[in-house]
Amino acid sequence: MNAVPEITFRDFLRTGPDTIAGRYLRSFWQPVFRSEDVKVGEAKPVTVFCEDFAIYRGQDGKARLVQPRCPHRGAKLSLGWVVGNQIQCAYHGWAYDGATGACVRQPAEPRPFCDQVKIRTCPVEEYLGLVFAYLGDHDPPAFPRSPEFENDRFFTALTIDVWPANYWTQLENAVDYAHTEFLHWHFHYKTPKAVNVDQTDYGISVHVPGLSDEFHYDSMYFVMPNTHEWAGPPGNDPAMGNFARSWRIPVDDESHIRFDFRAYPFAKKDDAAFLRKVDARINQPVGTAAGYARDLLSGTLDFQTLKAKPEIVGGQLTNVQDCAVMASMYPMATREHKEMLGQTDRAIALLRRLWKLELTAFAAGEKPRDWKRPASLWPALGN
């Protein structure tokens, strides 16, 4: 039996199809696209986990994820036509079934040549406004749900952005609450006296008592392997308090997608003024935070000037602050400098231990652990 190589921090960072972290993450259902961004009859390119795909929505309304190129001459299938529930290559008209991958039509080619051609397809589920795909080699696990966020009594919002930093930098930031008082000055948080960290059946819980004046803004939950949940402070309007479930998906090893699904339980769902305020606080074109981060890192903008910009408010300001700091660590953030972790970094240390244990077992041929999120984590989202 071959010895399992030592898993190091660098193994966490690379997520291509031939890497240990890439194969591990592909063993879970992962969001790859926002549902509203692919309409019936449309095909779009997708890049996740250092791998290209084509996504399209058939006439039956179902999304399908397939390999990026036609096996005939290599043209991108995302350039093609959606015909019924099939994807047809724009170059020579070869068409494929998006469920089975079978080539079902080859104009100018006699059968049975058609029967010898097949493309890769991936299982797909749509949930909370996202297209999830299973990119692994074996049968997919049961699809994970978050019942609290399915409550249609609440106003919900789904946002997407792409940041120029390795996804792992974001995972560590998710469990780091000590930075909130300083980097996110507008929260008016307090210096944490203690950081309570526990390993759970779903991953990690972090509680920082006294961080804010309201208990639920003291907590976050990390659901293995790359999802976290957190409470968004309301600012001056209690109705703006929200709870988010967030996925951090590598595009490549130097950038990642942020999918954030938020529920607002303290507001009236049909309040037009509230809806406008939410839109102003969280909706920005993809790449806005990255643009401001580049200006901050180049020295053409500073945090004090940024704070005074009236168009950057609420969650947008938080995103720019986080994005700039993460990008400042350089795209891969290998942590090969002499890193000095303190007691407030206990959650980061635990996250690294869990990932090392998981990747070591996975490299030895074991199945990934079945991390189970409970039906309820946030009392404010209760029925």
pLDDT tens digits, 154-177? 999 999 999 999 999 999 999 998
- Could you tell me which residue, 178 or 320, shows the higher pLDDT? 320
Q: What is the mean pLDDT of residues 248-261?
A: 97
pLDDT at 132 over 90: yes
- In DSSP notation, 122-138 reads E-EEEETTEEEEE-SSS
Average pLDDT (40-65) is 98
More confident residue, 251 or 313: 251
More confident residue, 379 or 16: 16
Among candidates 50, 52, 44, 48, which has minimal Cα distance to 69?
52
Domain count, the chain: 2
State both tokens at 210.
């006294």
Residue 194 has pLDDT above 90, yes or no: no
pLDDT of residue 214: 61
Q: Are strands 155-163 and 255-264 parallel, antiparallel or unpaired?
A: antiparallel
pLDDT category at 16 given cuts 50, 70, 90 is very high
pLDDT level of residue 110 (50, 70, 90 thresholds): confident
> Residue 34 forms beta bridges with which residues?
130
Would you state the pLDDT for residue 137?
Answer: 92
Alpha-carbon distance of 83 to 194, in angstroms, equals 59
Region 134-163: what's the mean pLDDT?
94
Q: How many CA atoms lie within 13 A of 139 on its CB side?
A: 2
Task: Mark whether 214 and 243 lie in a shared domain.
Answer: yes
Within this chain, do residues 124 and 198 fall inside the same structural domain, yes or no?
no
Q: Is the same domain home to 166 and 260?
A: yes
- Kindly indicate the confidence band of residue 383, based on its pLDDT and cuts at 50, 70 and 90: low
- 23 found inside a domain: no
Q: What is the pLDDT of residue 217?
A: 75
Question: Is residue 180 predicted with pLDDT exceeding 90?
Answer: no
Higher pLDDT residue, 344 or 259?
Answer: 259
Q: What's the distance, CA 4 to chain centroid?
A: 29
Residue ending a domain, choose from 104, 134, 164: 134
- 194 and 301 assigned to the same domain: yes
The whole-number pLDDT of residue 48 equals 98
Check which CATH number belongs to the domain holding 65 and give it.
Answer: 2.102.10.10
Q: What tokens were used for 377?
A: 């984590």
| pLDDT confidence bin for 152, thresholds 50/70/90 | confident
Q: Is residue 316 part of a domain?
A: yes
Cβ contact 21:12 at 8 Å: yes
For residue 84, pLDDT beyond 80 = yes
Same domain, 325 and 291: yes
Domain that residue 258 falls in: 147-381
Q: Are residues 253 and 114 in the same domain?
A: no
Decide which of 79, 113, 134 is a domain's last residue: 134
Tell me whether residue 17 is in a domain: no
Domain boundary among 111, 134, 157: 134
When pLDDT is averaged across residues 56-70 and rounded to a whole number, the result is 98
Q: Is there a contact between 293 and 302 (Cβ–Cβ < 8 Å)?
A: no
Residue 208: what pLDDT? Answer: 85
Q: Which helix (H) or strand (E) holds 361?
A: helix 346-363
34 burial type by CB count under 10 A (0-12 exposed, 13-18 middle, 19+ buried): middle
207-249 pLDDT per residue, tens: 988 776 665 678 899 999 999 999 887 877 889 889 999 999 9
Instruction: Say what the pLDDT of residue 308 is.
Output: 81
Least confident of 68-77, 268-277, 302-311: 302-311
- What was the pLDDT predicted at 169? 94
- Is the same domain home to 167 and 306? yes
CATH code of 264's domain: 3.90.380.10
Q: Is residue 7 part of a domain?
A: no
Whose CA is closest to 5, among 18, 15, 20, 24? 20
pLDDT of residue 83: 97
Asked if the structure places residue 18 within a domain, the reply is no
340-365: average pLDDT: 93
User: What is the DSSP track for 251-282?
Assistant: EETTEEEEEEEEEETTS-TT-HHHHHHHHHHH
Q: Are residues 67 and 125 in the same domain?
A: yes
Give how far Cα 90 sits from Cα of 61, 63, 80, 148, 183, Å: 21, 19, 4, 43, 49
| Section 331-349 average pLDDT | 81
- Residue 79 and residue 166 in one domain: no
| Same domain, residue pair 357 and 223 | yes
pLDDT given at position 282: 86
User: Average pLDDT of 140-147?
Assistant: 95
Whether residue 24 is contained in a domain is answered as no
pLDDT band for position 369 (50/70/90)? very high
Alpha-helix residue ranges (DSSP H) falling in 126-224: 167-174, 180-183
Tokens of 131: 């297209």
Does some domain include residue 1?
A: no
What pTM does this model have?
0.94
Note the pLDDT of residue 216: 67
Give tens-digit pLDDT for 19-49: 999 999 999 999 999 999 999 999 999 999 9
Q: Is residue 99 part of a domain?
A: yes
The pLDDT value recorded for residue 212 is 66
